[in-house]
Amino acid sequence: MRMRTALILLLIVAFAVTAVVYVSSGPPGPVHLVPSWSLLPKASFRAMAVTDPFVSWSPDSRSVLLGLQDLSSFSYKIFKWDLDTKKLAYITSGVSPNFVTINEFIYLKRDTSKRALGIFRRDLRTGSEQEIASGLKKNELFPDVTGFAYDPTSKTITICMTEYTRFRTPGPERYDLRGNLVESVSSRQGEDIIDYSYAPDKTKCAILVRERYTRPVRLQIAKGSDSRGREIAQGHINAVAWSPNGDTIAYAQDKIVVALRPSDFKRVVVARFGDPDDQKDKRYVSRLIWSPNSRYLAVFVYVPDDHGDYPLCYVLDMSKCKWES
């Protein structure tokens, strides 16, 4: 009798564990794919040369700038893609373009050996440009700078010392537009947080937690700058981005993009780049960047290839996102 009872208990526990595993690894929500546009031709640029941010949105959310390295010539090129025309146009040679106004952007010039030469401000209408942040050249690390991110609120730039990494790597220092050091920038990897995105009011933060470099990555919503919070999802999650209007959190899970409504935690799959069940297809969504008006989402897809890994870039029309009642 005791043996029979023990067996029944074991079966109940096994069923419960199986149920938990099934629920946690199940689909992240209903599928309602939104309209999308592809920005780059296949297998044309080098994925490992991409720096953060992988695109820069214009203040009016009508165009993006991209800095790419050509796979054939290995030259660095800056392109502009317009939402109205859906066309990609070459602008100039350089890397890390960042919009500062609707008609102007700043970017980094590098020589053929990849050493940084200077940061320049360029007018899209006239093509004229001038060097800025010259004080940065006094920093002994400047020749090894690979790019930077511009913050329009503080009018500062955060330099980057690496090219592509699996997860977004901020820092290590922030400077004003004259090249004066403002502050050091630290990552949150010491908290096992590999990516994060604050709500517009900074009261909450969407964080990706990966403890001891193990899978799965856990998406959590934390209060303020807390290092842990309410768990929302887990799996092969690579990026998270909270929309500027605060209404939607987007996260990248393997080959799909999921929209999460933080008001009620409802989720919907809005984009899919390949079959999630195809183990031979190693591509994955790696970065997400919202447009300032929260209507569009730029998506970076990393594609491993025997002839050279290459990036794909898409813009999703998130205004067409459908939530199930």
Q: How many CB atoms lie within 10 A of CB 70?
A: 13
Residue 101 confidence (pLDDT) above 50: yes
pLDDT value for 188:
86
CA distance 243 to 234: 20
Helix (H, G, I), strand (E, B) or coil at 18: helix
pLDDT value for 114:
86
- Range in 81-95, 181-195, 263-277 the model is least confident about: 181-195
Q: In this predicted model, what pLDDT tens digit does every residue of 186-221 receive, in sequence order? A: 888 878 999 999 999 999 999 999 987 667 999 999
Which string of DSSP letters, residue by residue, matches 283-296? -EEEEEEE-TTSSE
pLDDT value for 80:
99
Residue 41 confidence (pLDDT) above 80: yes
Evaluated on CA atoms 161, 155, 174, 229, the torsion sign reads negative
Q: How many CB atoms lie within 10 A of CB 253?
A: 23
Mean of pLDDT over the chain: 90
Contact 191, 227 (CB under 8 A): yes
pLDDT category, 306, cuts 50, 70, 90? Answer: confident
What is the number of alpha carbons within 13 Å of residue 248 lying toward its C-beta? Answer: 25
| Phi and psi, residue 318, nearest 5° | -75, -5
Q: In this predicted model, what pLDDT tens digit does every residue of 129-164 receive, in sequence order? A: 999 999 999 999 899 999 999 999 999 999 999 889
**pTM value?**
0.90
% pLDDT > 90, the chain: 76
Question: What contacts 276, CB < 8 A, 6 or more positions away?
Answer: 254, 255, 256
Contact 208, 221 (CB under 8 A): no
pLDDT category, 112, cuts 50, 70, 90? Answer: confident
Q: In this predicted model, what pLDDT tens digit does every residue of 52-73 receive, in sequence order? A: 999 999 999 999 999 999 988 8
Q: How many CB atoms lie within 10 A of CB 142?
A: 18
Between the CA of residue 106 and those of 3, 43, 128, what are the distances in Å? 74, 27, 12
pLDDT value for 22:
31
| Token pair 């069940």 in the structure block, residue | 277
Residue 166 confidence (pLDDT) above 70: yes
Residue 20 confidence (pLDDT) above 80: no
Helix (H, G, I), strand (E, B) or coil at 170: coil
Helix (H, G, I), strand (E, B) or coil at 13: helix
Tell me the fold of 36-319: Methylamine Dehydrogenase; Chain H (2.130.10)
- Range in 79-88, 174-183, 274-283 the model is least confident about: 274-283
pLDDT value for 27:
60
Between the CA of residue 132 and those of 54, 80, 111, 119, what are the distances in Å? 21, 21, 17, 6
pLDDT value for 289:
99
From 131, 62, 122, select the one nearest 92 (Cα to Cα): 122
Q: In the chain, what are the domain boundaries? A: 36-319
